[in-house]
Structures are given as structure tokens and as C-alpha cells.
Amino acid sequence: MSRAGQFYIDGQWVDPSSSSAWFDLIDPSTEAKVGQLAIGNAADVDRAVSAARRAFPKNAQTSVADRIAMLQRILQIYERRYDEFAEAMRIEMGAPITFARNGQAARGPAHLNALIGVLENFAFEEQRGSTRLRMEPVGVCGLITPWNWPVNQIVVKIAPALAAGCTMVLKPSEFSALSALLFAEVLDEAGVPAGVFNLVNGDGPGVGAAIAAHPDIDMVSFTGSTRAGILVAKTAADTVKRVAQELGGKSANILLDDVNLDEAVARGVTACFTNSGQSCSIPTRMLVPRHLMNDAAQIAKRAAQAYRVGATDKVTTQLGPLVNRNQFERVQTLIQTGIDEGARLVTGGTGRPEGLAKGWFVKPTIFADVTPDMTIAREEIFGPVLSMMPYDTEAEAIEIANGTDYGLAAYVQSSDIERARKVGRELRAGGVHLNYPVVDFNAPFGGYKRSGNGREWGEAGLREYLEIKSMVGYGTD
């Protein structure tokens, strides 16, 4: 908390250019104020970009071995401070401590280890006939990250930018700045050279827009809502900078008629409720054969009602609050809209769970008999709300799954892997998950359609931060 009043620019912790703007940090599980965050402006962004621009020429020339060593030092320091990261995310976003440790904090080392492996084997130069292809750092990068997976999103942007030889300015979400400040301390201790990494806290209109528009930033990587992503892209267009976006999702989970229904439904509920439903790629639309809908709804009801909701410092708590009042009220409105539009409320509904008078907690909610035209089938809810949708044929299931503006992820469950693969090939999504697989941190992550462009994670994530230079007439070795 001691760093919440400062930014990290040019290798130093510095005061904001103006001390007039502050943001109250609230624990969403108690609604109690836990501190204040300094909010930056365009002048702070200018300072940070200038530092990154000065540092870029030298940093671009660093060896791959030096970059690997840097990432390894970051990994070692992160692991030493692992519990601090878990506690920061428990406080700032209400992640139950067990999930904060095993889910949120664990993503940092997972992505760092994956990227180190990529960098150890990545070819930055390749000969094609008499042409030499070189992969070179894109330049100064503006990184804008969300609150829902704070460390995950920070690491999947900072780590590949460092691996590529770029320099950067980070604007984390003001709702999850504590973990970002902690990561800045890790980078400082690891010896990241001055100006290579810079951090300016702030909001979207003040700092995010200044980053997107800045003429000395060569690339913007943004993760957040589709609405905000459109604004970033429009703002960045005047300077023709590269824009990589990971935006919203409304992922379908197709349960084919040969599944073990109890297992497929229960695991689907668990996946949908991950991070209190505040994840862009989770399966929020469960597509069920019509003749199995009633049975599936009862299975889902039992699974949802078994969730333990409450104090985030208890290791037995499974479901925490939403991040803030606005998100809570939005989810309440969408739940009521689902009821009003005729979806069958199986369990949950509006209001807080019983016994919780404070905190932005939402009842684990299941709707059945949801139709594609309903609001809850079309809009990203970002809360623990599952929409169960009936279908009659496999072709109809695929049509419903693809019938959305989003295309970040999709899920298919079948006892026949070949059948699951066949359906998966028909789905318009950047990531298709067959039979609830384990996470692959080298698999490219990103979406089709209004879920964004570009990819993160592993080698695909590294390539986003590289330019291709063709040296024609180079000759052969």
C-alpha cells in the first residue's frame, strides 16, 4: 500500500505531476476503504513514454541470453513474494484466498515459465533463399490491463514485451492496482533497466486514452470490454500504431447427447462460476439437448446451491464478490432482465445471498430454457450466472454457439473425441476446449469477431511484440 501514491517511471518511484486526483481503494467483500490510489494524467504518461523511448535503442540490442536471465530473476522474486500477490488480489478484487493462491497468483509463474521455454528455442532470424528475415522489437508499447485477472494480464503483456526487447508503459486497472504495484517492485528488484518498464496508474479517459493516442508509442495491447476496446482502436488510429486487443466473450458450452450428463453439467457450472463469473472466456451459455434440459437443470441447481459464498479470508470460501458496486448493479439488472424476458429461473436470482448484508456478493444463478434472442444469451454478464439453452440437432447447436458477436472461446463435451473435434472445427472462436482440458499456457489466447484481434500466451504472444524485417539480397550462408 505504501506505493499507491506514486508511479514507477525511469527506474524510480516518483510522485504524480498533480496531487489533486485520488481513487478510493475498496475491499469488495466488505465495502470498506483500504487506501487511496494516485491517479495520473497525460503529463505523467508523457514522462513515462519519454523514459521508454530513451531506453529503447539499447534495450532492443540486448541478447536473448540476457532476456532469459532477466525473466528468470523476475520469476524467482515473484515466487518469493507469492503470498503477497495472493493477499493483494484477495483485498482488491475479493478473490477468495484459496482461489487467489491457486488460481490468480499461480498465473504469474505459469506464464513466465512458458515464455522462458519459448524464448530458449525461438528463431529471431531465418534464411529464406537469399532473403534474411529478422524479428525485431516493435518499439515502445502501451499496455492497458483489466481488473479481473490482474497478474495474469500483466504478465502476458510485460513478459513477452521484455522477451522481444521492447520498452513499455503499463496502465493497470485502478481497481486492481495493488498487485500491479507489487509486480513493479519485483521488476525493480530484478534489475530491469531504467526506462524499460514504466507504470502510471489512472483511469481510461485520463491515462488509457493518452497512451492510445501518444505519437511515441508504437503499439497498444489492450484487454477489457469490447466497448472500451473500440475507443482504444479509434484513438490509436490517428498514429497508425499496432493495436492488439483481447475483449469480451459469450462462450458456448455444447453438451452433445452422448455425455455423462451429471459430470458435464457440474463441471460446466464450475467453469462458468470461475472467478465469480468475472472472466471473458468462461462458458456462460450451456447448450443442452432439449430432451435432457430438465435433468440438466436439476444437476446445475444442485451444483450452484453447493457453492460456499462469503468471507474471502476463509479457505473454504468458493465464491467471492464482484469487483465493485457498478458491476454488482449491472449483474442484478441482467438477472432481472432474464426473469422479465421469460427465462426459467432455476436457482439464485436478484439480491445478495442469505446472511450477507455487505459486500458485492451475487447469488449463484442458473437460468434454463434460455432462447438466443434473450438479453442474457447475447450480453456478457460478468457474474456467476449460467444460461442453459436447449437445442434439437447438432447443426442447431453449432448455429446457436456461433450466433453471437463474440468469438473468444467455445467448449464441446462428448464421450467420442472425434465427434468433439468435428464440432470444434465448426465453431468460430479463438480457443476451443474439448472435454474440459487442463490449461495449456502455450496455446494462443485471443478471439474472433468482436472478441478482439491478435493473440497472447506462449509463442503467439511473443510474436505480437515483434516486427518482421526482410533483408532482400542478403545472400546465403
The answer to whether 174 is a known catalytic residue is no
Given 246, 380, 456, 464, the catalytic residue: 246
- 462, 119 contact by CB (below 8 A): yes
Q: How many CA atoms lie within 13 A of 395 on its CB side?
A: 0
Compute the distance between CA of residue 80 and CA of residue 109 in angstroms, rounded to an integer.
11
Residue with grid cell 518469493, as numbered in its chain: 80
Given 166, 280, 456, 464, the catalytic residue: 280
Compute the distance between CA of residue 335 and CA of residue 355 in angstroms, rounded to an integer.
20
Q: What is the DSSP letter of 174?
A: G
Compute the distance between CA of residue 102 and CA of residue 89 in angstroms, rounded to an integer.
12
The answer to whether 141 is a known catalytic residue is no
Distance set, CA 251 to CA 110, 281, 398, 435 (Å):
24, 6, 12, 15
Distance set, CA 12 to CA 142, 207, 242 (Å):
19, 19, 28
- 52, 196 contact by CB (below 8 A): yes
Distance set, CA 384 to CA 85, 181, 258, 282, 463 (Å):
24, 28, 27, 10, 34
94 φ, ψ (degrees, to nearest 5): 75, 25
From first CA to last CA, the distance across the chain in angstroms is 55
**Cα Rg, the chain, nearest whole Å:** 23
| Active site (catalytic) residues | 246, 280
